[in-house]
Amino acid sequence: MTAFLVRRIGFAFVTLFAVLTLVFVIVRIVPGDPAQVILGDQASREAIEAMHERLGLNKPIVTQYAEFLGNAVKGDWGVSMVSGRPVMAEVLNVLPWTIELTVVSLIIGVVLGVPLGVWAAVKRNRFFDYVARIASLLGLSFPAFVSAIILLFLFAIEVHWFPVISARSGSLGAWAQSITLPAINLGLISAAYITRVTRSAMLEVLSEDYVRTARAKGVPSGSVVWRHALRNALIPIITVVGLYLSILIGNSVLTEIVFSRPGLGKLIVGALNQRDYTMLQGMMVIYTLAVVVVNLLVDIAYGFVDPRVKLG
């Protein structure tokens, strides 16, 4: 397990390094001078050069790159070109909102999706299976912002059960009210993915010899499905859920916009609109970190679920 983890962590670092490099390159090949963007068209030559110096853009490109990597490692991502506050502080400020939303919706997705998928597989080609397949296909066809708008329209505008702007906190009631619609939106889409992958993984496993053996030796049917089969179906489920998390991150951006909820999504869209390059760099780093951490967690989960992985 240790060797396996060390290799995975090594790969995670390579990924992080590659993305940081990519971020650095992207930000610099963009047409347009950041200093000009910040100062506007009327800026004098001297002002632009002063800004270059402040942003470190007058240094050789290799030095810039080294400083960029060094600062990224130290957690210093510079200051926002728009607000003047440290990027790190701005990101950390809204990060809990996004983490909270993704975690709650993933829980909804797993709690709904796994049982539905197992049930659909057990009832293969029966009415329930048919409904579950169509419903999950429909669910994962929804662009996250379309389902969000429909939920907002139905439950916040037509029926005033929830606030139109989901940015409240403080009491538990206010928190629950503000997270419910966004989390249901992402949770239902997650459930659609998880139902599908659980169903197909279970179908594969249920036809295996050991399942038949378990049945033959008289293990109760429920135990066969939930203990013998589901445990072995977990690997492909975890793989797809891991891949799905990157979709979930994208979907959370759209959901945060529709529900006017603070979070990374609103931060990145604001940075895009205002061409806040340092903020964008920082956001790229945080998203990459998120992806790398998620992949590591998925790898560790493999080890727990399937002892054979440790050897691999």
Which residues here bind another protein, judged by CB under 8 A? Answer: 11, 14-15, 18-19, 26-27, 30-31, 134, 137-138, 140-146, 149-150, 152-153, 157, 193, 196-197, 200-201, 203-204, 236, 239-240, 243, 246-247, 249-251, 253-254, 257-258, 268-269, 272-273, 275, 280, 283-284, 287-288, 291, 294-295
Shortest Å distance, C-beta 161 to another protein: 16
Shortest Å distance, C-beta 288 to another protein: 7
Measure the CA–CA gap between 36 and 225, rounded to whole angstroms. 63
- Kindly tell me which of 20 and 179 has the beta carbon lying closer to another protein: 20
Shortest Å distance, C-beta 4 to another protein: 16
Measure the CA–CA gap between 222 and 209, rounded to whole angstroms. 17
- Kindly tell me which of 1 and 154 has the beta carbon lying closer to another protein: 154
Measure the CA–CA gap between 261 and 265, rounded to whole angstroms. 9
User: What is the three-class DSSP state of 33?
Assistant: coil
120 in Cβ contact with 128 (< 8 Å): yes
- Kindly tell me which of 7 and 220 has the beta carbon lying closer to another protein: 7
Tokens in use for 106?
Answer: 């993933």
Shortest Å distance, C-beta 186 to another protein: 13
The torsion of the CA quartet 226, 229, 232, 238, rounded to 10 degrees, works out to -50
Q: What are phi and psi of 97, to 5 degrees?
A: -60, -45
Shortest Å distance, C-beta 143 to another protein: 5
Shortest Å distance, C-beta 42 to another protein: 22
- Kindly tell me which of 50 and 305 has the beta carbon lying closer to another protein: 305
Strands (E), 24-149: none
Measure the CA–CA gap between 182 and 3, rounded to whole angstroms. 40
Residue 256, by phi and psi: left (phi above 0), alpha (psi -120 to 50) or beta?
alpha
109 in Cβ contact with 187 (< 8 Å): yes
- Kindly tell me which of 87 and 197 has the beta carbon lying closer to another protein: 197
Shortest Å distance, C-beta 267 to another protein: 12
Measure the CA–CA gap between 233 and 284, rounded to whole angstroms. 34
